[in-house]
Protein backbone atom coordinates (compact mmCIF):
# COMPACT_ATOMS: atom_id res chain seq x y z
CA UNK A 1 0.00 0.00 0.00
CA UNK A 2 1.31 3.44 -0.88
CA UNK A 3 2.50 5.48 2.10
CA UNK A 4 0.86 8.90 1.91
CA UNK A 5 2.58 10.31 5.00
CA UNK A 6 2.21 14.07 5.44
CA UNK A 7 5.56 15.70 6.15
CA UNK A 8 5.05 18.45 8.73
CA UNK A 9 8.67 19.65 8.77
CA UNK A 10 8.55 21.30 5.40
CA UNK A 11 8.46 24.77 3.86
CA UNK A 12 5.04 25.44 2.33
CA UNK A 13 3.12 28.13 0.52
CA UNK A 14 -0.24 29.23 1.93
CA UNK A 15 -2.23 27.02 -0.43
CA UNK A 16 -0.07 24.00 0.41
CA UNK A 17 -0.70 24.50 4.13
CA UNK A 18 -4.45 24.44 3.53
CA UNK A 19 -4.43 21.43 1.20
CA UNK A 20 -2.00 19.41 3.32
CA UNK A 21 -3.96 20.18 6.47
CA UNK A 22 -7.17 18.79 5.00
CA UNK A 23 -5.25 15.83 3.56
CA UNK A 24 -3.86 15.04 7.03
CA UNK A 25 -7.29 15.29 8.66
CA UNK A 26 -8.79 13.09 5.95
CA UNK A 27 -6.10 10.42 6.35
CA UNK A 28 -5.89 10.39 10.14
CA UNK A 29 -9.44 11.14 11.24
CA UNK A 30 -10.10 7.65 12.61
CA UNK A 31 -7.31 7.52 15.25
CA UNK A 32 -7.70 11.23 15.99
CA UNK A 33 -11.40 10.96 16.70
CA UNK A 34 -10.95 7.76 18.67
CA UNK A 35 -8.67 9.74 21.01
CA UNK A 36 -11.09 12.65 21.16
CA UNK A 37 -14.02 10.31 21.74
CA UNK A 38 -12.41 8.82 24.85
CA UNK A 39 -10.56 11.77 26.37
CA UNK A 40 -12.31 14.93 25.19
CA UNK A 41 -15.91 14.16 24.20
CA UNK A 42 -17.28 14.02 27.79
CA UNK A 43 -15.95 17.54 28.40
CA UNK A 44 -17.25 18.71 25.02
CA UNK A 45 -20.71 17.49 25.98
CA UNK A 46 -20.40 19.21 29.36
CA UNK A 47 -19.36 22.40 27.58
CA UNK A 48 -22.46 22.21 25.37
CA UNK A 49 -24.61 21.65 28.48
CA UNK A 50 -23.07 24.70 30.19
CA UNK A 51 -23.78 26.82 27.11
CA UNK A 52 -27.41 25.69 27.19
CA UNK A 53 -27.68 26.26 30.95
CA UNK A 54 -26.38 29.83 30.75
CA UNK A 55 -28.79 30.75 28.00
CA UNK A 56 -31.72 29.04 29.73
CA UNK A 57 -31.10 30.66 33.12
CA UNK A 58 -29.82 34.07 32.05
CA UNK A 59 -30.74 35.13 28.53
CA UNK A 60 -34.31 33.87 28.51
CA UNK A 61 -35.09 35.89 31.64
CA UNK A 62 -34.28 39.24 30.03
CA UNK A 63 -37.21 41.61 30.24
CA UNK A 64 -36.96 43.81 27.16
CA UNK A 65 -39.99 45.86 28.25
CA UNK A 66 -38.34 47.00 31.51
CA UNK A 67 -35.11 48.93 30.78
CA UNK A 68 -34.10 49.19 34.46
CA UNK A 69 -34.50 45.48 35.06
CA UNK A 70 -32.74 44.74 31.78
CA UNK A 71 -29.72 46.84 32.80
CA UNK A 72 -29.60 45.08 36.16
CA UNK A 73 -29.41 41.74 34.36
CA UNK A 74 -26.55 42.78 32.07
CA UNK A 75 -23.88 42.45 34.79
CA UNK A 76 -24.68 38.84 35.75
CA UNK A 77 -25.03 38.00 32.06
CA UNK A 78 -21.48 39.12 31.26
CA UNK A 79 -20.16 37.41 34.40
CA UNK A 80 -21.69 34.16 33.17
CA UNK A 81 -20.28 34.70 29.70
CA UNK A 82 -16.80 35.21 31.20
CA UNK A 83 -17.06 31.99 33.21
CA UNK A 84 -18.27 30.07 30.16
CA UNK A 85 -15.31 31.51 28.20
CA UNK A 86 -12.87 30.25 30.83
CA UNK A 87 -14.46 26.82 30.74
CA UNK A 88 -14.28 26.97 26.94
CA UNK A 89 -10.53 27.64 27.19
CA UNK A 90 -10.19 24.58 29.41
CA UNK A 91 -12.06 22.34 26.96
CA UNK A 92 -10.22 23.81 23.97
CA UNK A 93 -6.88 23.23 25.75
CA UNK A 94 -7.85 19.63 26.42
CA UNK A 95 -8.75 19.27 22.75
CA UNK A 96 -5.47 20.80 21.55
CA UNK A 97 -3.44 18.88 24.12
CA UNK A 98 -4.92 15.62 22.82
CA UNK A 99 -4.73 16.52 19.15
CA UNK A 100 -1.20 17.91 19.24
CA UNK A 101 -0.05 14.86 21.22
CA UNK A 102 -1.10 12.79 18.22
CA UNK A 103 0.71 15.12 15.81
CA UNK A 104 3.82 15.08 18.03
CA UNK A 105 4.12 11.28 17.85
CA UNK A 106 3.16 11.32 14.15
CA UNK A 107 6.00 13.76 13.40
CA UNK A 108 8.54 11.82 15.48
CA UNK A 109 7.74 8.29 14.31
CA UNK A 110 5.91 8.66 11.02
CA UNK A 111 2.59 7.42 9.72
CA UNK A 112 1.67 3.93 10.90
CA UNK A 113 4.78 3.51 13.07
CA UNK A 114 3.17 4.01 16.47
CA UNK A 115 0.28 2.87 18.62
CA UNK A 116 -2.37 5.01 20.30
CA UNK A 117 -1.06 3.74 23.66
CA UNK A 118 2.16 5.70 23.05
CA UNK A 119 0.20 8.96 23.00
CA UNK A 120 -1.64 8.49 26.29
CA UNK A 121 1.30 9.45 28.59
CA UNK A 122 1.51 12.84 26.86
CA UNK A 123 -2.15 13.83 27.23
CA UNK A 124 -2.16 15.18 30.79
CA UNK A 125 1.04 17.22 30.61
CA UNK A 126 0.27 18.56 27.13
CA UNK A 127 -3.24 19.58 28.15
CA UNK A 128 -1.88 21.45 31.20
CA UNK A 129 0.70 23.25 29.05
CA UNK A 130 -1.98 24.14 26.51
CA UNK A 131 -4.26 25.40 29.28
CA UNK A 132 -1.61 27.70 30.76
CA UNK A 133 -0.69 29.08 27.36
CA UNK A 134 -4.34 29.42 26.35
CA UNK A 135 -5.23 31.46 29.45
CA UNK A 136 -2.30 33.85 28.97
CA UNK A 137 -3.06 34.38 25.28
CA UNK A 138 -6.75 34.87 26.10
CA UNK A 139 -5.89 37.55 28.68
CA UNK A 140 -3.59 39.28 26.18
CA UNK A 141 -6.36 39.31 23.59
CA UNK A 142 -8.88 40.67 26.12
CA UNK A 143 -6.41 43.38 27.19
CA UNK A 144 -5.79 44.34 23.57
CA UNK A 145 -9.50 44.39 22.81
CA UNK A 146 -10.23 46.61 25.82
CA UNK A 147 -7.52 49.07 24.78
CA UNK A 148 -8.76 49.07 21.21
CA UNK A 149 -10.17 46.38 18.95
CA UNK A 150 -7.17 46.38 16.59
CA UNK A 151 -4.54 45.48 19.24
CA UNK A 152 -6.76 42.56 20.22
CA UNK A 153 -6.60 41.23 16.66
CA UNK A 154 -2.85 41.85 16.56
CA UNK A 155 -2.24 39.93 19.80
CA UNK A 156 -4.54 37.08 18.72
CA UNK A 157 -2.61 36.59 15.49
CA UNK A 158 0.89 37.29 16.80
CA UNK A 159 0.60 34.82 19.68
CA UNK A 160 -1.52 32.24 17.84
CA UNK A 161 1.40 29.79 17.62
CA UNK A 162 2.04 29.86 21.38
CA UNK A 163 0.25 26.59 22.19
CA UNK A 164 1.90 24.77 19.28
CA UNK A 165 5.35 26.01 20.30
CA UNK A 166 5.05 25.28 24.01
CA UNK A 167 4.00 21.70 23.23
CA UNK A 168 6.57 20.94 20.54
CA UNK A 169 9.55 22.84 21.95
CA UNK A 170 8.84 22.57 25.71
CA UNK A 171 11.00 25.55 26.69
CA UNK A 172 8.47 27.39 28.83
CA UNK A 173 5.72 29.92 28.33
CA UNK A 174 8.00 32.94 27.98
CA UNK A 175 9.97 31.29 25.20
CA UNK A 176 6.75 30.18 23.48
CA UNK A 177 5.34 33.72 23.48
CA UNK A 178 8.61 35.20 22.19
CA UNK A 179 9.03 32.50 19.55
CA UNK A 180 5.44 32.93 18.38
CA UNK A 181 5.99 36.64 17.94
CA UNK A 182 9.26 36.08 16.05
CA UNK A 183 7.95 33.36 13.77
CA UNK A 184 4.59 34.98 13.00
CA UNK A 185 6.28 38.25 12.03
CA UNK A 186 8.02 36.36 9.22
CA UNK A 187 4.63 35.78 7.60
CA UNK A 188 2.18 37.85 9.64
CA UNK A 189 -0.44 38.20 6.93
CA UNK A 190 -0.23 34.55 5.87
CA UNK A 191 -0.75 33.52 9.49
CA UNK A 192 -3.63 35.98 9.78
CA UNK A 193 -5.28 34.49 6.67
CA UNK A 194 -4.89 30.95 8.08
CA UNK A 195 -6.50 32.03 11.36
CA UNK A 196 -9.25 33.87 9.50
CA UNK A 197 -10.02 30.95 7.18
CA UNK A 198 -10.15 28.58 10.16
CA UNK A 199 -12.53 30.84 12.07
CA UNK A 200 -14.70 31.33 9.00
CA UNK A 201 -15.01 27.55 8.59
CA UNK A 202 -16.17 27.25 12.21
CA UNK A 203 -18.53 30.20 11.78
CA UNK A 204 -19.98 28.80 8.53
CA UNK A 205 -20.74 25.40 10.05
CA UNK A 206 -22.13 27.01 13.19
CA UNK A 207 -24.28 29.33 11.09
CA UNK A 208 -25.80 26.44 9.16
CA UNK A 209 -26.52 24.53 12.37
CA UNK A 210 -28.03 27.61 13.99
CA UNK A 211 -30.51 28.49 11.22
CA UNK A 212 -33.45 26.63 12.85
CA UNK A 213 -32.53 28.15 16.23
CA UNK A 214 -32.32 31.64 14.76
CA UNK A 215 -35.79 31.34 13.27
CA UNK A 216 -37.21 29.92 16.51
CA UNK A 217 -35.41 32.56 18.57
CA UNK A 218 -36.74 35.46 16.53
CA UNK A 219 -40.27 34.10 16.65
CA UNK A 220 -40.11 33.53 20.40
CA UNK A 221 -38.54 36.94 21.10
CA UNK A 222 -41.14 38.79 19.05
CA UNK A 223 -43.89 36.80 20.75
CA UNK A 224 -42.50 37.70 24.18
CA UNK A 225 -42.31 41.40 23.36
CA UNK A 226 -45.80 41.39 21.83
CA UNK A 227 -47.23 39.70 24.92
CA UNK A 228 -45.85 42.31 27.29
CA UNK A 229 -42.54 40.73 28.24
CA UNK A 230 -43.60 37.24 29.22
CA UNK A 231 -40.68 34.79 29.74
CA UNK A 232 -39.32 33.18 26.59
CA UNK A 233 -40.61 29.69 25.93
CA UNK A 234 -38.29 27.92 23.51
CA UNK A 235 -39.08 24.36 22.33
CA UNK A 236 -36.94 21.50 23.66
CA UNK A 237 -35.33 20.86 20.29
CA UNK A 238 -34.01 24.45 20.35
CA UNK A 239 -31.87 23.69 23.42
CA UNK A 240 -30.75 20.32 22.08
CA UNK A 241 -29.62 21.84 18.79
CA UNK A 242 -27.88 24.68 20.67
CA UNK A 243 -25.88 22.15 22.67
CA UNK A 244 -24.99 20.12 19.57
CA UNK A 245 -23.92 23.28 17.74
CA UNK A 246 -21.66 24.27 20.65
CA UNK A 247 -20.02 20.82 20.69
CA UNK A 248 -19.48 20.74 16.91
CA UNK A 249 -18.10 24.30 16.84
CA UNK A 250 -15.60 23.50 19.59
CA UNK A 251 -14.57 20.26 17.90
CA UNK A 252 -13.93 22.12 14.64
CA UNK A 253 -11.10 24.06 16.28
CA UNK A 254 -8.85 21.20 15.21
CA UNK A 255 -9.09 22.60 11.67
CA UNK A 256 -7.38 25.96 12.40
CA UNK A 257 -5.27 24.01 14.89
CA UNK A 258 -3.94 21.94 11.98
CA UNK A 259 -3.32 25.08 9.92
CA UNK A 260 -1.25 26.53 12.78
CA UNK A 261 0.75 23.33 13.28
CA UNK A 262 1.62 23.33 9.56
CA UNK A 263 2.47 27.04 9.70
CA UNK A 264 4.69 26.53 12.76
CA UNK A 265 6.82 23.90 11.01
CA UNK A 266 6.86 25.99 7.84
CA UNK A 267 8.13 29.07 9.68
CA UNK A 268 10.57 27.00 11.73
CA UNK A 269 12.07 25.57 8.54
CA UNK A 270 12.29 29.07 7.05
CA UNK A 271 14.16 30.22 10.16
CA UNK A 272 16.62 27.33 9.87
CA UNK A 273 17.20 28.23 6.20
CA UNK A 274 17.89 31.86 7.13
CA UNK A 275 20.39 30.77 9.79
CA UNK A 276 22.13 28.41 7.36
CA UNK A 277 22.44 31.17 4.77
CA UNK A 278 23.95 33.54 7.34
CA UNK A 279 26.43 30.92 8.56
CA UNK A 280 27.49 30.08 5.01
Looking at residue 51, its pLDDT comes to: 85
pLDDT higher at 144 or 205: 205
User: How do the domains of the chain map onto residue ranges?
Assistant: 14-275
d(CA 166, CA 228): 54
Predicted TM-score (pTM) of the model is: 0.85
Looking at residue 233, its pLDDT comes to: 67
pLDDT digits (tens, 9 = 90+) for 182-229: 999 999 999 999 999 999 999 999 899 888 877 766 666 555 555 555
* Contact assessment for residue 180 and residue 134, using Cβ atoms and an 8 Å cutoff: no
Would the CA dihedral through 152, 260, 17, 197 be positive or negative?
negative
Q: Is 26 exposed, middle or buried (0-12, 13-18, 19+ CB in 10 A)?
A: exposed
Q: DSSP string of the chain? A: -------SSS---HHHHHHHHHHHHHHHHHHHHHHHHHHTHHHHHHHHHHHHHHHHHTGGG--TT-HHHHHHHHHHHHHHHHHHHHHHHHHHHHHHHHHHHHHHHHHHH-TTSS-GGGTHHHHHHHHHHHHHHHHHHHHHHHHHHHH-HHHHHHHHHHTTTHHHHHHHH-S-HHHHHHHHHHHHGGGHHHHHHHHHHHHHHHHHHHHHHHHHHHHHHHHHHHHHHHTTSPPP---HHHHHHHHHHHHHHHHTTHHHHHHHHHHHHHHHHHHHHHHHHHH-
Q: What is the DSSP letter of 231?
A: P
d(CA 195, CA 258): 10
Confidence band of 240 (pLDDT split at 50, 70, 90): confident
Looking at residue 1, its pLDDT comes to: 40
How many CB atoms lie under 10 A from the CB of residue 271? Answer: 14
Q: What is the DSSP letter of 182?
A: H
* Contact assessment for residue 123 and residue 98, using Cβ atoms and an 8 Å cutoff: yes
* Contact assessment for residue 48 and residue 244, using Cβ atoms and an 8 Å cutoff: yes
Confidence band of 136 (pLDDT split at 50, 70, 90): very high
pLDDT digits (tens, 9 = 90+) for 70-99: 445 555 555 667 778 888 899 999 999 999
Of the candidates 194, 186, 189, which has an alpha carbon nearest to the alpha carbon of residue 271? 186
Amino acid sequence: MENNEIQFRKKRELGDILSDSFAFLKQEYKPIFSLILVYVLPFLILYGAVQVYVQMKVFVNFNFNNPEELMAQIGPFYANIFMVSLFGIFVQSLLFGTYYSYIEIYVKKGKGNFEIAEIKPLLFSNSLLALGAGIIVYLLIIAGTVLCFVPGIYFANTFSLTIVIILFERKGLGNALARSRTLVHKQWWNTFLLNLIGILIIFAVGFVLSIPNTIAGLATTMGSIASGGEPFNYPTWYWVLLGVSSVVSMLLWIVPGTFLAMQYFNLDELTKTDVSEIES
